[in-house]
Amino acid sequence: MSLAFNEEQRALKDTARDFAQAQAPVEALRALRDAGSATAFDDATWQQLLELGWGGMLLPESYGGFDFGLKGLCAGMEEFGRTLVCSPLLSSVVLSGSAILAAGNEQQKLQWLPQIAAGELRFALALDEGVHHNPANIQTSAIRTADGFELSGCKQMVIDGIGADKLLVAALEASELGLYIVDPSATGVTLSRRQLADSRNYAQITLDKVAVAEQHKLSGSEDVAAALELALDNGRLALAAEQFGGIQAMFERTVEYLKERKQFGVHIGSFQALQHRAAKMYIEIQQSKTVLMDALSAVEADRPDRAARISAAKAKIGEIAELVTNEATQLHGGIGVTDELEVGFFLKRARVAQVLLGNSQYHYDRFARLSGY
């Protein structure tokens, strides 16, 4: 319930940092991009992450996890964000894993969660149907058949959809929300790649009368919408932590550049106009960190304002990621807009991460709604 990481969480953070810096620096993302990788992550890197236990970080021990909690996971996400590590951690473990944990029945949890934790199966959550995050706007239909359901609809921007072993699809049966496990190779499923600026893995998925067996509808929760919201909140906070890592990396590099770059015979960091811009970023980053730690402590203590605090974090951090990546680009001058410099990778990732799972406007609005106004 603390606003700081404890010793165990700091140890996780250190491990994550060592791994990210040594095994998955930004050059790794560049290499994946240049190779045109459709899954946009490196299998060997993902295997190493699984061996380090990141696949089971969130899950209880009874389902093959280590139960370190969202705070432990986010300590790592922050470090992965510093080097833009690409992996299915968010899509499979955090989003899909949390959704199955919250909405699955005991048998479903026992069947799927250990495989997710071990990385034997990779899940992707197919939720949004437009270019803006909006879990309240689901059109995909699930029609009951003799031995299960028939799903039809179109899903947009499915994170890590390409190459996923299973899809977790949100659909409406009459007006009731349900989550269905769909095999991407099933008849009627079409996946097409969507390449966004951040060079990661997104898919558009169309479902045309796809048959889903009865036992593949998650049926452990009375309120699927609430269960889904819980899983999305885990994802939002994990993504905010990743964004916060990116913000820090950008800021540190920019301040270093201000100290080394000379123009007019002096270090440009001696100019007050630039000093003030750097100081303002520092202030905003410190504020962002407090908002993030407040959300993590709300989750840790399971406080009733949990969801509002998570929206505060996603809103604030998204906004500050925009500020810091824009400033980093500008303050690096000409080299800042070259592909050679890694600033561009952070800039592109920051904007995609802003859009995913709700942008700042979405979450300021949600925060207000949850706060009663």
Partner 1 sequence: MSDLNAFRQEIRTWLEQNCPESMRTPATPEDQVWGGRNIQFPCEDAKLWFDRCVEKGYCVPDWPLEYGGAGFDRKQTAIFKKEMARLGCRPPQVNLGIWMAGPAILEFGTEEQKREHLPKIARGEIRWCQGYSEPGAGSDLANVQTKAESDGDDYIVNGTKIWTSYADHSDWIYCLTRTDKDAKKQEGISFLLFDMASAGVEAKPIELITGETHFCQTFFDNVRVPKANRLGEENKGWTVAKRVLEFERNMMADLEATIAADPIVLSQLAKQHLGEDPQGRIADPILRQAIARNEINKRALDLAMPRMGAEFAEGVGDPSLGMILKYAGTEEEKLKYELALKITGAQGLGWAGEGFSEADIKLTRDWLGVKTHSIAGGTSEVQLNIIAKRVLGLPDQ
Nearer to partner 1, 98 or 288 (CB): 288
Choose the stretch contacting partner 1; rule: CB under 8 A; options: 178-186, 199-207, 322-330, 363-371: 363-371
Give the footprint of partner 1 on residues 252-281 (CB under 8 A). Answer: 255, 258-259, 266-267, 269-272, 274-276, 278-280
Among 47, 137, 215, 287, binds partner 1 (CB under 8 A): 287
5: contact with partner 1 by CB under 8 A: yes
Rounded CA-CA distance 14/160 in Å is 26
* Whole-angstrom distance, CA of residue 112 vs CA of residue 115: 5
Give the three-state DSSP class for 37.
Answer: coil
- CB of 193: closest distance to partner 1 in angstroms? 34
**Shortest reach from residue 316's CB to partner 1, in Å:** 6
Exposed / middle / buried, residue 132 (Cβ in 10 Å: 0-12, 13-18, 19+): middle
Indicate which single residue of 139, 215, 286, 338 sits in contact with partner 1 (rule: CB under 8 A).
286
Write out the binding residues for partner 1, residues 109-138 only, by CB under 8 A.
Answer: none
Sheet strands (E) in the chain: 123-126, 141-145, 148-159, 166-173, 176-182, 189-194, 202-213, 262-263, 266-267
At closest approach, how far in Å is the CB of 292 from partner 1? 10
Q: Would you count residue 211 as binding partner 1 (CB under 8 A)?
A: no
Query: 193-208 burial, b for 16+ CB within 10 Å, e for fewer?
Result: eeebebbbbbbbbebe
What is the DSSP secondary-structure string of 75-98? HHHHHHHHTT---TIIIIIIIIIH
Residue 304's Cβ-count burial label (10 Å; 0-12, 13-18, 19+) is exposed
Which residues, 74 to 103, sit near partner 1 by CB under 8 A? Answer: none
**Range 292-351, binding partner 1 (CB under 8 A):** 293-294, 312, 315-316, 319
Q: Is 225 a residue that touches partner 1 (CB under 8 A)?
A: no
* 361 binds partner 1 per the rule CB under 8 A: yes
Within the chain, what is the greatest distance between any pair of CA atoms? 79
Binding site for partner 1 (CB under 8 A): 2-7, 10, 255, 258-259, 266-267, 269-272, 274-276, 278-280, 282-283, 286-291, 293-294, 312, 315-316, 319, 361, 364-365, 367-369, 371-373
